[in-house]
A = this chain, B = another copy of it.
Amino acid sequence: MQHKQVFQQLTEFWNSGMPFNQLLGFKITEFDQDKAEIRFDWQDKLIGNPTQKILHGGVTAAALDLAGGVVAAANIIAQLEDLSPETVEKSIKKLSTIDLRTDYLRPGRGEEFIATAVVIRSGSKVAVTRMELHNEKGEHIAFGTATYMVG
């Protein structure tokens, strides 16, 4: 099996099997070691402040954390020689968020939101990622930085 196939399988599994991501409508649309991408549509249930109709800050943080986690996962898998399901599962289980920082730049308004992530530090124990959230017009809503345990 190739790495790309593993990425594809994990995308399907995570898109269909992670309750909170489904609740929020998050879809992984890119799962690679260079970049991860998450997309989700506006839904009224994602509103934080009802008088302003903007995304709850927690939705933004959740989307950035998922995007960062996906690109960190891809970096773990890319370092594996054995791509058996057991090895992949065991490696992915070690993935956890150590810290996550979100910088809110603009109110979260839009019809569709796109979170992207890249790895800025990759190691056998810890990975650091940077994320961005834009809406469908390309307006930049938030920046994120996260540190993940990966080994």
Contacts and interface: CB of A to CB of B under 8 A. Distances in A.
Interface of A: 17-21, 23-24, 44-52, 56-59, 61-63, 65-66, 69, 89, 93, 96-105, 107, 120-121, 125-126, 128, 130, 140, 143, 145, 147, 149, 151
A58 B48 contact: no
Give the number of copies in the complex: 4
Contacts of A51: 89, 93
| Interface of chain A, main secondary structure | mixed
10 contacts: A17-B50, A19-B46, A24-B58, A51-B89, A58-B62, A96-B104, A96-B107, A98-B98, A99-B101, A120-B143
Contacts of A97: 57, 102, 104
A100 B100 CA distance: 8
B20 A23 contact: no
A103 B99 CA distance: 4
